Structure formats: C-alpha cells, structure tokens
Amino acid sequence: MLLASLAILIGLPVLLWSAGKFVGGAASVANHFGVSPLLIGMLIIGFGTSAPEIIVSIFAAIQGNSGIALGNAYGSNIANILLILGLTAVISPIAVKSEIIKKELPVLLGITFFAVWQVWDLQVSKDDAFSLLGLFVLLLSWSIYHGMKGGKDALADEYDEEINSNEGTVKTHVMWLIAGLLLLVASSRMLVWGAVEVATFFGVSDTIIGLTVIAIGTSLPELASSLMAVKKGEHDLAIGNVIGSNMFNTLTVVGIAGTIQPMTVSAEFLYRDAMVMFASTVALFIFCIGIKRQGRLNRFEGGAFVLAYVAYTYWLVQAAFI
C-alpha cells in the first residue's frame, strides 16, 4: 500500500511535468518549421493536453484494467468542464469571442451524444472503438483545414501570442520533446500500477479510481493552462483547451483503449457518469454559444459548475464506500 501510494504521488507530478515539456517541445518545433499558430494550437496544444490521459489509458488497457481507461476519459471530461472551467470562471468570468469556438461547441456536443449512445448497450466493442477513431480522423481533417485556412480570429491571435512566447533553440525543443515522451510513458506505468493497487486495497473498482484520483490528476494541465489564459485575458484559449481535450478524450483515449481491449460498462456508470458528462457538456454549450448575447461563463455559472462537481464527487464516494 505504501509503495502504491508513493507510485501515485511521484508518478502524477512527473506525468504532468513531462506532458508540459512534450507539448511545449512539439509546438515549438512545429512553429520553427512554419506551421501556422492556429494549426499548432488546435492540434498540438489543444489535443496535446490530453497526452496524460491517453498514455495512462493505453497502459491501463494493456494491463487489463479497462475501467481505469474509461473512467479516466469520462472523468477527465467531467472535471474539465465542471471543475476546471468552473474554477476559472469563478476567478475571472470567461467571454467567448472566437467563431471557431462557437463552431466547435456543437461538434463537442454531438461527439458526447454519440459516445453516450455507444455505451447504451453497456459495452465499448472494437467496432465502437474504431468508429470513434474514424470520427477523430474526420475531426483532425476539419481542424487542419481551418488551421491552414487561417484568417482573423480571436483564438488564432491568442495561440500566436502563446506559441511565440517560447524561447530556445530547435535542438533544445527536440530534446524536450523526446525526454517528455519517455517520461510520460514511464510515469504513466507507475501511476496505473499504483492506482490498481490502491483500488484493490480499499476494495473499490478501478473505474472509481479512474473517475476520481486519476481523472482529476490528469486534468491538471487543463487547469494550469486555463488559469494562465484568463490571467493574460486569453478567454477563448481557456475554453478552446477544454473543448479540444474533451474531444480527444472521447474519441482517441476511449478509441485506442477499446481497440486494445473491448470494455464492459456497468449500468451504474451509464446512468451516473455518462449522463453527468453529457449534462455538463449541454450546460457548457448553452452558456457559451451565446443565444441573443455574447457567450460567456460568469462567476454564478462557474460557481454552479464547481458545486455540481462537488456533488458528483460525493455521489462517487458514497457509491464506493457506503
């Protein structure tokens, strides 16, 4: 138990630090070779913050702990919206100006609905997993098209400022890219092992551990990037990071894990966790799309999101131990 706890306490910060180095290195290398800031932001930064989730889920699936993989993906999506954006909005209200964000919100809602529909039969089969990866390829193509198309957009300007703030030589960025990836793999294996051991010790399912400890832990990059974005006045970047991460979690994290090992879903997971994920996505869509007004998350909505996450976490703990 002591070793398992140490594995989590050491593995999680190393995982987050290495993910930051990996994403930063990749973005800087791409920028050096002339890739547009919007494309770098949408693909590498937007999706790259999900690097911890995908590496953790791959190793969880390989080791036969599919509950961690699915719980990590869905739990991270819930934490990203209710906890990350909620806390960010409480600190500083978020205004949505980017037309790209307004186009991505309905896409995220559709992807989330499709994911919930997939688990309605209480499983994620290999066919389900491949269909998720197929949707990701379409999403990737759409992102590349918009990134290459360029044009003036609030999100593009914020990505440009963020990427050009990185300093250092190409050699240094490549070194951090490789080192970050290697540390990502090593720390993920350590984290998954520790999580499984802790779940076994307390007699709770690995899904609960995936939905709580690992989901919150792997969502910390989104919290850090969102808080830094609003501090700089880059509101669209804060929303964009979460939207990109949630799309990636739903399509790629679950998709890759499902191709490695098909997953069985409990009825409790469907009616509790999948529904909370869908409801939180609907709420984000309603507040940010801006019907007859500019889309925004005020402190009131942010506080409601945080309270909803506290209630959801209490529900999970109650289900696990009571």
Q: What is the 3-state secondary structure (H, E, C) of 86-141?
A: HHHHHHCCEECCCHHHHHHHHHHHHHHHHHHHHHHHCEECHHHHHHHHHHHHHHHH
Write the single-letter amino acid at 252. Answer: T
The closest of 260, 278, 212, 317 to 66, measured between CA atoms, is 260
- According to the model, what pLDDT value does residue 125 have? 92
Given this model, what pLDDT does residue 51 score?
73
Q: How many helices (H) and strands (E) does the chain have?
A: 18, 4
pLDDT at 235: 66
Tell me the pLDDT tens digit for each residue of 173-185: 677 777 777 777 7
pLDDT given for residue 291 in this prediction: 66
CATH code for the domain in which residue 281 is found: 1.20.1420.30
Residue that is written with structure tokens 């993906």 in the block: 73
Based on its alpha-carbon atoms, the radius of gyration of the chain, rounded to whole angstroms, reads 19
State the pLDDT at residue 157.
Answer: 53
Handedness of CA 59, 60, 63, 64 (dihedral sign): negative
pLDDT on residue 148: 63
Containing domain of residue 180, as a range?
2-321
How much is the pTM?
0.83
Residue 215 to residue 213: CA distance in whole angstroms: 6
d(CA 13, CA 219): 12
pLDDT digits (tens, 9 = 90+) for 242-296: 888 899 889 998 999 999 989 889 999 999 999 999 999 999 998 888 666 667 7
Quick one: what percent of the chain has pLDDT higher than 90? 28
Distance (Å, whole) CA 65 – CA 207? 9
Mean pLDDT (10-residue bins), the chain, 322 residues: 80 74 66 59 61 80 84 92 91 76 86 95 93 91 68 52 58 74 76 79 81 81 72 71 86 91 90 95 88 77 95 88 67
Count of domains in the chain?
A: 1
